[in-house]
Amino acid sequence: MKTKQFDNKEQLQAIIAGLPKAHAETLHRGAKLEEVSDIEDQEQVKNPSKNPEEKRVAIINEETDKMATVASDKYDIVQHREAFQPLVNALTDAGMDVKGSVKTFNNENGVMIKGRLKDTGFNIQDDSDYVTGFRLKNSYDTSCSVTLRGMTERLVCSNGMTIPTDIIKPVRRTHVGNVDVVKEYRGFFSRLIDSVPTFRDMLLEAREEFFNEPVVVLRNAGVPETKVERVIERIERQPDSEFGTEKYSRKQVYDALTNFITEEIEDEKTISTEEGYHRKAERVLTSPKAKLTQPLEVEE
């Protein structure tokens, strides 16, 4: 995984211009993968023989000269530059500037831009300052579509959180068919700014609802058993509380999970892993309390 930082739109545009391209090569029935392109770990290729009658193509990353995946011939390659340059244009049209990072995953096949929008923050008293931003991702290996999501970042511990989809819907462009991302991106940023007060109110409300057993909440949200305790360790407890007897607010549990994502999951090799954990965090924040606290089934 590689990460490059940028402080403004011009630096972001320069990074985008240097991102790798990809192309498709036809796979004839019966052809062996090694005859098309070298690949370090063929187990990462998504089942090239699932339907032998379907026409297949190999997606080749021109930077690494490696095969990213095998896909249907209907797969439409969305070049990173094609997905990301309209973002810079939309920010310019909206009069916004940005800083953040560009991460590449999976041998340059997956890319995520994480940006903070300047002058769009808010504060929650006795908590932290927050800044509003976005995540934009694309891949050549079918691990994700082009997806633009709203986010905020809690500055006291630098943990990022996606804004739930019932507040602002992501912009998506699949690798089959076409969507006018230029038009969609322009509308997205105005909706993002409008959504900030609603998200702030949601975080305030989350401070007033309490759980007795955060372990149960995390498990019901889909956090793997091997990760639960590491999330619990990050819960910010009151200095005068007694461990094992205190209640935990919905926001305490949510902040602990988003902090865990930032510190441990964002260094994973795949974009889909991080996105999956953000969906779990959204469940902690938005799911009905009865659903999060229901007794877990114990296997006999």
105 and 97 in contact (C-beta within 8 Å)? no
pLDDT of 241 above 60: no
* 149 and 10 within one domain: yes
* Of 190, 266, 261, nearest in space to 223 by CA: 261
User: Does residue 99 sit in the same domain as residue 50?
Assistant: no
Q: Indicate the pLDDT class of residue 43, thresholds 50, 70 and 90.
A: very low
Q: Are residues 130 and 256 in the same domain?
A: no
Taking residue 117's Cβ as centre, other Cβ atoms within 10 Å add up to 22
Contact 72, 79 (CB under 8 A): no
Quote the CA–CA distance of 137 and 221 in Å, as a whole number. 24
pTM recorded for the entire structure: 0.82
Residue 39 and residue 82 share a domain: no
What is the domain range of residue 219?
207-292
- Do 125 and 142 lie in one domain? The reply is yes
Q: What CA–CA distance (Å, rounded) separates 82 from 291?
A: 41
The token duo for 260 is 């865990």
Residue 54: per-residue pLDDT: 58
Would you say residue 45 has pLDDT above 80?
no
Specify the higher pLDDT residue, 30 or 284: 284
Residues 131 and 193 in one domain: yes
Residue 172 lies inside a defined structural domain of this protein? yes
Single-letter amino acid, residue 191: R
Residues 127 and 187 in one domain: yes
